[in-house]
Amino acid sequence: MDVNEFMQQVRPAGKRSRITPFLSEIQMLRERGFSLEQIREFLSTNGVKVSVGGLSAYLSRHGVQGYSASPVPAAPPVAPEPSEVIAQENTTPMDAREQREALAHRFISLQTQNSILKRIQEKQK
C-alpha cells in the first residue's frame, strides 16, 4: 500500500475543537455583550461542555472580535536614570563621581537636621 491509497482509505485524525462549529455564534454573542458564563450555557445546551476558563482560552487563541482575555494595563511611567537627569541639567560632561555628587546635592538641603551631615558640611567649609 502506498501513501495515496492509505490517504484514500483512512480519514486524518484532525484535532478540531468542539467549540469551532459554534465560533460564528460565539462571536455574535460576544459582540452583543453576552458574558462568557452565558456563552458557556449556550454551548452546554448544544451538547458542548466547556469551562469558562477553557472558553476564555479558546477565544483569546482564536482572536474573537469583542473579546479580550484581559485588558493590557498601561505601562507605568519610567523614571529617568539619575545620570540622564543630571546630564540634562548640565551641558558639561561629568564623570561618575561628579554625577553621584550632583545627585546627592539635589537631596541635601542646607538646613538639614542630620547632625552627622552638619559636621561634614562644616568641615568642607
Residue 76, C-beta contacts closer than 8 angstroms, at least 6 positions apart: none
Q: Which three cell numbers stand for residue 108?
A: 541635601
Nearest alpha-carbon partner for 29 in 16, 20, 42, 17: 42
pLDDT tens for the chain, 125 residues long, are 788 888 888 877 767 788 888 988 998 898 898 999 999 999 999 999 999 999 988 888 877 755 554 444 556 666 556 555 555 555 667 888 888 888 777 776 555 567 787 788 788 87
CB 112, CB 118: distance < 8 Å: yes
Ordered by start, the domain boundaries in the chain are 15-62, 82-124
CB 54, CB 39: distance < 8 Å: no
| C-alpha to C-alpha distance for 91 and 123, rounded to whole angstroms | 30
* Model pLDDT, residue 2: 83
* Model pLDDT, residue 112: 58
